[in-house]
C-alpha cells in the first residue's frame, strides 16, 4: 500500500469523524443554517503552557456566543502534535477558526487544510513555511531571550525536554503580568520536546486562507521583528499591541479577542 503522509492521515481522520457524527452517512448541511452559524474557535496554546493560558479570551468569546475548544497540545513535536490535533478537529463539526499562540502557530499552519477552517489567527506566534525550523526563525532577528541561559533541560529515556528557568521566565514571557499571577503560571509550566525547535515543518498555510496576526511589541520570547517578518510574508492582517508581553492573551485578552472575532466574521 502507498504511504500516507500526515496530511492524508488528517483528512482520513476528519472523514471518519464526520461519519461517526452523522451515523455513518455524510449529511447534507442546511445552507441557510450553516451560513448563520458562528464558527467554533479552536485555541492552541504554545510551549510551556496549557489551555488555561487562554482563559480570559475563552470567557469573552463564550460570552459573545462562540463555541470554544481550548485544546490540550501534547508538546511532543510538530508532526506528532499535528497528528493528534487532527483527531481533535475531526470531532468539531462546521466552520472553524484556528488560533495559535507561539509554538501553536506552527500547528495552526499545519492544520490549515482541515475541512471547515475559514481563517487562521496567530498570536505572538510562529508562522513558518515548509522546510523551516522554529529555532532558525527565532534566531533570524535579534530580540529573543530564549536560550541555554534561560531554559533547562530534562533528559529521560524517550528524549529531552526544555523548561523555563523560573528566575528569568517572567521577564521573557510575562513582563506585563502581576508577579504573583506570573509565578503561578510559571510553576505550572509544561515542558516541551526540545526537538520542536529543530524539526522542519511540512507545509505552508494556503495563501488564499485569511490570516490575522497579533504582535505584542514587548515580546522577549519571539522577537517582534521576527513576528512582523513572518506575518507580512504570510499576508496576514496585523494588529500590534504596544508593550504587551509574549503572554498577551493573558495580559490583554480584550485586544486578542477582538482580532479573533474579526477573523470569525
Distance separating alpha carbons of residues 41 and 180, to the nearest angstrom: 29
Distance separating alpha carbons of residues 104 and 40, to the nearest angstrom: 17
Instruction: Report whether pLDDT(20) > 50.
Output: no
**What pLDDT, on the 0 to 100 scale, is given for residue 255?**
98
Instruction: Report whether pLDDT(219) > 80.
Output: yes
Length in residues, the chain: 265
- Beta bridge partner(s), residue 155: 160
**Contact (CB, 8 A) for 111 and 85:** yes
What is the side-by-side order of every strand in the sheet holding 151-156? 151-156, 159-164, 192-193
**What pLDDT, on the 0 to 100 scale, is given for residue 9?**
54
User: Sorting pLDDT into bands at 50, 70 and 90, what band is 208?
Assistant: very high
Kindly report, residue by residue over 34-74, the tens digit of the pLDDT.
446 899 999 999 999 999 999 999 999 999 999 999 999 99
Place of cell 509565578: 183
Share of the chain above pLDDT 90, in %: 86
Place of cell 492573551: 249
Share of the chain above pLDDT 70, in %: 86
Kindly report, residue by residue over 112-168, the tens digit of the pLDDT.
999 999 999 999 999 999 999 999 999 999 999 999 999 999 999 989 999 999 999
Instruction: Report whether pLDDT(19) > 60.
Output: no
**Contact (CB, 8 A) for 49 and 101:** yes
Distance separating alpha carbons of residues 86 and 228, to the nearest angstrom: 28
Minimum mean pLDDT range among 8-12, 45-49, 81-85, 145-149:
8-12
| Mean pLDDT score of the chain | 90
Kindly report, residue by residue over 21-35, the tens digit of the pLDDT.
334 333 333 433 444
**What pLDDT, on the 0 to 100 scale, is given for residue 37?**
85
Compute and round to an integer the Cα radius of gyration of the chain.
Answer: 18
Amino acid at each position: 500500500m502507498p504511504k500516507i503522509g500526515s496530511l492524508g492521515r488528517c483528512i482520513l481522520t476528519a472523514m471518519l469523524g464526520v461519519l461517526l457524527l452523522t451515523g455513518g452517512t455524510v449529511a447534507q448541511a442546511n445552507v441557510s443554517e450553516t451560513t448563520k452559524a458562528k464558527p467554533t474557535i479552536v485555541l492552541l496554546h504554545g510551549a510551556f503552557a496549557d489551555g488555561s493560558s487562554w482563559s480570559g479570551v475563552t470567557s469573552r468569546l463564550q460570552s459573545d456566543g462562540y463555541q470554544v475548544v481550548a485544546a490540550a497540545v501534547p508538546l511532543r513535536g510538530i508532526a506528532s502534535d499535528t497528528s493528534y490535533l487532527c483527531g481533535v478537529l475531526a470531532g468539531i463539526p462546521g466552520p472553524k477558526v484556528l488560533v495559535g499562540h507561539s509554538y501553536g502557530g506552527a500547528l495552526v499552519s499545519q492544520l490549515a487544510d482541515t475541512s471547515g477552517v475559514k481563517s487562521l489567527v496567530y498570536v505572538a506566534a510562529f508562522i513558518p513555511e515548509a522546510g523551516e525550523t522554529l529555532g532558525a526563525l527565532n534566531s533570524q532577528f535579534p530580540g529573543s531571550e530564549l536560550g541555554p541561559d534561560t531554559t533547562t533541560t530534562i533528559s529521560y529515556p524517550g528524549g529531552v525536554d526544555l523548561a523555563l528557568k523560573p528566575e528569568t521566565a517572567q521577564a521573557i514571557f510575562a513582563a506585563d503580568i502581576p508577579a504573583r499571577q506570573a509565578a503561578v503560571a510559571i510553576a505550572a509550566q509544561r515542558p516541551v520536546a526540545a526537538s520542536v525547535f529543530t524539526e522542519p515543518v511540512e507545509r505552508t498555510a494556503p495563501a488564499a486562507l485569511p490570516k490575522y496576526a497579533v504582535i505584542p511589541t514587548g515580546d522577549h520570547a519571539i522577537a517582534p521583528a521576527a513576528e512582523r517578518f513572518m506575518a507580512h510574508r504570510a499576508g496576514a492582517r496585523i494588529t500590534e499591541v504596544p508593550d504587551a508581553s509574549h503572554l498577551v492573551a493573558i495580559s490583554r485578552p480584550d485586544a486578542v479577542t477582538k482580532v479573533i472575532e474579526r477573523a470569525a466574521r
